[in-house]
Amino acid sequence: MTSAVEVSAQRLRERGERVTPARLAVVEVLAGTEEHLSAEQIGERAEQLRPGIHRATVYRALDALGEFGLVTHVHLGRAGTTYHLAGDLAPRHLHLRCSECGTVYDAPGDILESARKKLARDLGFHLAPEQVALVGTCNNCH
């Protein structure tokens, strides 16, 4: 099985983009966790993986990988913005954030599929719920 790092490197090459240590470190960090990591946390872990990589370089790598469709981000409200691998590099999922305790949960990516289809059919609107956290209360706080 090909790793997310190898696939990302290949896709960067196909686009004529540079395959840099910082870009690979970002993908490696994201591929190695199911946590919802901030840019700062990704920077810290990337520096541990590849000592000598500057944090600002990691932030630029995150931006570039986002532009190339390899990484995406989710706005979690008070919890800030978190990043994860995009497309076929990671399982499609949605984010649920409890408005009481702030816990973020992952939900199956197809859970809103009927609503997505209805909005597209009836209103011509193409929903992208992967970009935000759906807010409600969890079982513990309800």
31: domain range? 4-88
Residue 141 belongs to a domain = no
Residues 83 and 108 in one domain: no
Query: What number of other Cβ atoms are within 10 A of residue 19's Cβ?
Result: 13
In a domain, 142, yes or no: no
Question: The domain spanning residue 112 has which CATH number?
Answer: 3.30.1490
pLDDT (tens digit per residue) in 109-137: 888 889 989 999 999 999 888 777 888 99
For the cut 60, the answer to whether the pLDDT of residue 61 exceeds it is yes
Does 113 count as an annotated binding residue? Answer: yes
Rg (C-alpha) for the chain, rounded Å, is 17
Burial of 140 (0-12, 13-18, 19+ CB in 10 A): exposed
- Residue 44 assigned ligand-binding role: no
pLDDT digits (tens, 9 = 90+) for 70-110: 998 888 776 678 898 887 787 778 888 888 988 888 888 88
Asked if residue 130 belongs to a known ligand binding site, the reply is no
Q: Does the residue 131 lie in any domain?
A: yes
Q: Which residue, 18, 101, 129, is CA-closest to 65?
A: 18
Flag whether 47 is marked binding: no
Average pLDDT in the chain: 89
Q: Could you read off the pLDDT of 21-57 as tens digits, one per residue?
A: 999 999 999 999 888 889 999 999 999 999 999 889 9
